[in-house]
Every structure is written in C-alpha cells, then in structure tokens.
Structure 1
C-alpha cells in the first residue's frame, strides 16, 4: 500500500517533485565539482613536490645554515706560456652546493631514528669550467717599425719603448650541476623524480664506477646519448642512461655514483642532503621532531613545509577551492535543503483534504508522516542521481579543459640559506630556492565523493520530509474535512 500510494503521488505531482529534485541536484553537483577540483589541486601540488623530492621521500635533512658556511668564491689559475703559443687552456672547479655538508655518519644516525623506514644521502655539486686561450700582443715602435721590444738608438741611447697592440684573452665559462646519488638505494633520492628514457639506470654494484646518467635536456644541449662520455675535472665518465624529469626541471644535469661525486668535490664521506622515508605517513611530524632533537645542527623539511612555499596560480586556485568554493557549496546546499523543505511543507498544506480523508479512514498520524517522508526521500534520491550526473559532467569538463596552473616554489620553511642542499646552480638546492612549474589541473571523482553525494541526497530528502511530516502530523481530521479548496 505504501509503495503503491507513493508511486501514484509522485506521478501525479511530477512538476513539484522535479522542482524539489532539481534544487537538491544543483547543490549536490556543486559539492561534487568543488570536492573533485580540490582533490585535483592536491594531486597537482603533490606532483610539484615530487619533482623536488622524488617518490617515496617524506622529508629531507640538511645542515643548519650558519655564517661560517658562506664559503669562498672560486679562483682559477692559468700557466703562462713563454713560447707565446696560443694553445687552449681549461680548468674545472667542483664546489659543494651551498658549501654546507653533513658527515656520512649522520645518514646512519637518521636511519636509526624511531619511525624512519629508510634514509639515503646525496651530494649536490656545482661544476664551473673555464676554457679558452690567450693571444700575445705585438709591440709597435713609435717610429713605425714593428718588433718584440725596444732597442738601442744612435749613440747607444735607449730607443723609445713601443706600444702593445692586439692580443688578449678569449675564455668561455660553462656551469652545470652534478648530483652524487647512492646507487645502492635506487628507491630514494632526486633521481626518482625522473624516468630513464634511454639506456639504463645505475647498478647497485657501481658504487665507485666511472658511469653517469644525464638529464635529457642537458644531453640534448651537449649532444649526449647512452654510450657517450663526459669529462668532469679530468675524469672521464661513460653515460649509461638518459633521464627525463617527470615534471618541471631535473634535480641535476648529471648524476654520478655518490663515492665518485665525493672524490670530485673533495668531500670524502660527506653529503649535502639526506632523503628520509617514514614508516608511516601519520608519524612524519613525530619523526621530524625526533631528528631535530637527537641530531642537532640539522634542518628537517617535510612535504608539508614545502607546500607552504608554493605560490602562483596553483596556490590561488587551491585557496579558492578550499575556502570560497567549499563555503559556497555549503551555502548552496543549505539553501537547497531549505527550499526543498519549504516546498514539501507547502505541498502538504495543499493536500489537507487528502490527509484528512486518510485520517478519517483510519490512518494514524505516524503513517501519514512516513508517507510524506517517503515521498521526500524519493525526491531526494532523484535529485541525487541528477546531481551526481551534473557533478560528473562538471568534473569531466574541468579534466578535459585541463587548465594550466603555475606553481612557484620560494625559499624553504627550514630557513636554510641554500634550501635543501645549497642555493647556487643546479641540484635540489636550486630547485627548492627558485622553481616554476606548469601543472595541468584535473578533477578526479572518487567513490568517497559519490557516496557523499548519495548521503546528501538522502539527507536532503529527510530534511524536506521532516518539514512536511511535521506539518502533516499536526492536521486534525475534522479541520481538514471542513476545509474546501
């Protein structure tokens, strides 16, 4: 009887049911779109952070900045050629990023902290190569004859010294970044933010091998490929693979085994950055506090700290979605619930004779109330279906359009002078200090979001039914039968 009466009433009052369902549908659709866009913002931000950290890394540990770590500027010295030859000369200077290093034993201390699943060290270097040649000038006598110098004039007097013309120096300065990675721990470190697109990655046995992996952009610039060779400070390395950054810029131009990088940088058993993976993402704050307490002189930076440095249109859009968008969707949803309740209550007032007759025939107030609530819940479910359809369409439109957002990363929250590993040149330190990425926005819809929409639909129906049921329960048969519409 309940479902028969319910079906007949909904069919008879199609327009009113459609109005109520449409109002709920708009509110539910807005909630779905805002929630999916917020989820897309989170994924975009994670993508930005992974381009710095790499997969699996929850935090990094660097040396705390101090004035004593300012370092000195690089100096270059070239030998003079007595024979006046114009042979090209070159020299390399390999410097540690930011001149801040930690002892290799610190990696083991970090790995032994409670809540740490794994820790691996890396060394960020900057290579500055100066190459070119000197050209010797020619001495011109003031009398117009050329020569290499002055001579004696008539009567033994010294002839006037001539002027030097021509000559000079032509030198080229080439700077690139090198990152020493622990080849025995391929799951951690900045190389995990890139994909090997040619050749191979390092083997675990190549801890001291003269091999290298080149970033694809650097390889294209220098015309390198798997099998090519590069020379760093007089040491020749074989390029075994080409890596392409998954998003944005690469962490370094060249990746070398950590031990080789330490040798080149004269930093034996030293690292600039320790990449840490926690046993549980819920313990990251505890692990951070433990490292700072037990290992003084270090700066610990988590992904949450980095997220605070993200600015640009990604940050603006994320703030809008998290703040204005959510509040707007809540307000619209509340308004939809109120409108649905008022419309249902109004519909009850127009069915006074109907409910009065049912009560005269023996229907109790509870049964009448359940009938009204049932109709409202069905209207809510219809609105939920429409709202889910509209929300999915809106999320699909955002994903298809894929608007490009710009993410800018400023200085890290740790306050280190050089970010993760230093502030100059390439490498992780440079990436943390200044980096701009273009990220395509998507709007993924999860099952949780769909379940939330269904819950809102039922809640909207109950709210509307509550209004109408309360109104219907207050009707008295005698008053209802006396009313003529």
Structure 2
C-alpha cells in the first residue's frame, strides 16, 4: 500500500514534484559550485603563499619590525677610499643587512619552539639584502682642495657639471638557512632545476643556490661565482618555485652560519618555520608558542591568506561574503517551497487521508507516507542538483579563469630600490651615500594563478544530505498537517 500510494502521488502530481525537485536541485547545484569554487580559491591562495611560506609549513614565528636606525642604509666613504685615475675615483663596496621590514631575534627562540608539544619540525632562517654600490666619483682629493672658501672651483669633469661621475646600484635578496632542515621552510617549496641543493656538508661552506629567474637575469649558472658582502660564493644549484608563475622566497640561498657571519648578525634569525605533528595540533602549537615567546608574532597560513591581493583576493571575498550567504538563502527558499507545496498537497488530499484514518491507519503511518513521498521528491531534486552542479564545475574548469595575485610584503623577489636615489645622493654631499641608495623595496611577489574548482566526494555527499534533509523537513510539516485530520472531515467532504 505504501509504495502504491507513493507511486501514484509522484506520478499524479507531476507539477508539484517538478517544482520541488527543480527548486531543490538549483539550490544544491549552487552549493556544489560555491563549495568547489571556494576550494579552488583556497588552493590558489596556498599556491601563492607556498613560495614565501614553504610547503609543509604550518606556522611562522617572526618579530615585529623595529624603527629604522638613524643613519642606517648609508654608504660612507673616506677621503682615501677607492682608486683614483684621470680625475675620478672608482669605488665599489657591498653591504649585507637584514631585509627592510624585518626584525632579527635571538636564535635561542628556535630551541624554544622546537621544545613545544606536537612540533614535528622547526627551522630558522635569516632574511637579508645585499646591496652593492659601484661607480666613478670625482677625485675626492681634488674636491677637498677645491672646497668653497679657498678660491678654487670644483673640478668639472663632464658636460653636466657632475665631475664625470657615474654609478650603479645592484641589490638582491639573500636567505640564510640551515642546510640540514630542508623538510620545512622555503627550500621545501622549490624544485631543483640544475646542480644540487644545500646539504649538511655545506653548513659553513662558501656556496649558494640561486632562484632561476634571478640566475637568468644575472646571467649566472652552476659553477659560476656570485659576490655577497664582498665574499665570493660558488653557485652550486638553481631552483624554481613549485607553484606555476610564482617567485621563490629569495634570489640567493646560502648556509645560515655564513650568512650570519657576513651580515654581522651572529646567533640571529628573522623567521622560524614550524611544522605541526598534525593539522589538528596547529591551534595548540600556535597558542603554546605565543605563550613561550610573548614578543613574537606567530602566524599560520590561514592568517597570511589575508595578505593575498589582486583579483584572487576579490574572488575569495566574493565567495566568502556573497557566495556563502547566497547559497544559504537559496537553500532555505528551496526548503520553504518544498514545505509549502507539501502542506498544500496534504490539504488537497483531505478526503484521502480522512478515509485512510477511518479504515484504521494510524497517525504514525500517515506521517510516514507523507514523509516518504517528500523524501523521494527531495532525492529527485538532489539528483538534479548534483548533475547541474557538476556541469557548472566542469564549465568553470574548462574556462580555467586566470586570477592575478600577490603577497604584500612577501620578501620574495625583492628588487633594487633605486628610484629617487640620485636626489638623496645630491643632498648628502661627498663622502656619504644616504639611505635612499640601494635599499630594497619590499615588493609584492605577484603572479597569475589558473583557478581550478575541485569536486570531492564529501561535497557530493553533503549535497545528497541536503536533499534528504529538505525531504524530511517537508515531510515532517506535511505529515503533521495530515495527522491532524479527522475521519469526520472526510465524511463531510464525501457528503
């Protein structure tokens, strides 16, 4: 009897079934598309962050940047600096210092972090910037002899009146890291494209690994030498980012101990990369590190996701603020439509349910009948929703929209900050090159990311669960209405 009435109701009230199924299906399809799109955006954010955060890295520990030291970033030259020839002085010098926008702290923090419960691995790095000033300046001896007040004019070695001066500023980012801790940190998010990577035997060796983009720009290859802080390092490897079109965390990678020595920052770190034993331990590890190191800034990858900019950030905001609430609103509307149509159908079947109760059907059996019919309608809507949703996701993946992205202040791929340097030099006068020269601009690591919306079994199961929930809700309300009918109403209806 149950299945007979069920088949008759579904086939005989096709309009109601179609309306409920279509409404439920569209709502579920929207949920699937939004969920897949949201997962795709998160994957894209992770790909962008991996170049500066590190594959396998769950938490980073840094310290809030301090105010710049007065006079920092200056190139100071004495009167006897450089080699003088033909009325000009050739000068070349390098400076290796902590990257602008970062602050260093005692390496003992690494041991503190490693001792926290559920920390699987931890490694420390030192982010630096190497700036080289080279060029030709007017002969300083002649400039001192021809200083104002002695009746002699300064030398005019060129048509521009600058004494024939010319100069060049070259700057690149350097990352000192522990060669034995490659499992966590920036080098875990790169692929070796030539040569070899750093090993434990390179702990204090004068060797370096280069980012492929920087190696191409600087025309360097494995076996060549690169000068860092007036020290020549042998290039032993070239690496590229695992993320397509994304920059790596630095232009040059070198052993941590050597980087500390050359920068005069012995026993100092700028970042500690942490890997938790499990994803469920991240919050606990973060809290324990914050307690152990109250002055440190402890960030997870989810925290850094807010630093992603460009159209990727816009897509993320759209999914979060619009897509989620739109899905909820449409889903609630679909549930409401199913409930109203079910109650309306029960009202039109007053004679039928009154008669069934008159011949002995219990309220429980009637409620079960209505709920079963609504559940089938909900499952039909679920099948429609899953089909439409998968088609929508397939369309998104075929279109493969490209989103621009960047990580503000990422530190990866920092380039020489030369704009405005000439004005600073002119204002400073001979013998000093002020902070505007050679200071690296902390540019965002920008890239383009192709969005792919993945569909997982869990999303499909959630969609089916929503269809079942909608059917049960509609059946519960409709069954409650049917259970209130009395046999007398059916008899009055017949008469």
- TM-score normalised to structure 2 length: 0.80
Alignment partner, residue 204 of structure 1: 200
Q: Deviations over 1:360-398 (max 9, x none)?
A: 554444333322221111111111111111122222222
In the alignment, the residues of structure 1 paired with residue 373 and residue 208 of structure 2 have an alpha-carbon distance, to the nearest angstrom, of 70
Alignment partner, residue 341 of structure 2: 343
In the alignment, the residues of structure 1 paired with residue 248 and residue 202 of structure 2 have an alpha-carbon distance, to the nearest angstrom, of 22
Displacement after TM superposition at 1:71 (Å): 6.4
Q: 125-134 or 380-389, which moves further after superposition?
A: 125-134
Contact 1:94–1:126 (Cα < 8 Å) also in 2? yes
Alignment partner, residue 225 of structure 1: 221
Which residue of 96, 99, 106 maps to 1:97?
99
Change (3 A) 1:368 1:55: same
Alignment partner, residue 416 of structure 1: none
Q: 327-336 or 176-185, which moves further after superposition?
A: 327-336
Structure 1: any 5+ residue segments left out of the alignment? 140-159, 412-418
Q: 168-177 or 264-273, which moves further after superposition?
A: 264-273
Confirm whether residue 23 of structure 1 aligns to residue 33 of structure 2. Answer: no
SS at match of 1:57: coil
Q: 54-63 or 97-106, which moves further after superposition?
A: 97-106
Alignment partner, residue 175 of structure 1: 171
Q: 346-355 or 26-35, which moves further after superposition?
A: 346-355
Matches for 1:177-326 after TM superposition, within 5 Å: 177-247=173-243, 248-295=246-293, 297-326=295-324
Q: 429-438 or 297-306, which moves further after superposition?
A: 429-438
- TM-score normalised to structure 1 length: 0.81
Alignment partner, residue 54 of structure 1: 54
Matches for 1:398-477 after TM superposition, within 5 Å: 398-410=396-408, 434-477=444-487
Displacement after TM superposition at 1:437 (Å): 4.2
Count of residue pairs the alignment pairs up = 455
Displacement after TM superposition at 1:254 (Å): 1.0
Displacement after TM superposition at 1:161 (Å): 10
In the alignment, the residues of structure 1 paired with residue 229 and residue 206 of structure 2 have an alpha-carbon distance, to the nearest angstrom, of 12
Contact 1:97–1:272 (Cα < 8 Å) also in 2? no
Displacement after TM superposition at 1:215 (Å): 0.7
RMSD, aligned CA: 3.6
Contact 2:371–2:471 (Cα < 8 Å) also in 1? yes
In the alignment, the residues of structure 2 paired with residue 70 and residue 114 of structure 1 have an alpha-carbon distance, to the nearest angstrom, of 41
SS at match of 2:210: strand
In the alignment, the residues of structure 2 paired with residue 372 and residue 8 of structure 1 have an alpha-carbon distance, to the nearest angstrom, of 12
Larger radius of gyration: 1
Q: 205-214 or 371-380, which moves further after superposition?
A: 205-214
Contact 1:25–1:388 (Cα < 8 Å) also in 2? yes
Change (3 A) 1:364 1:100: closer
Q: 227-236 or 205-214, which moves further after superposition?
A: 227-236
Change (3 A) 1:168 1:26: same
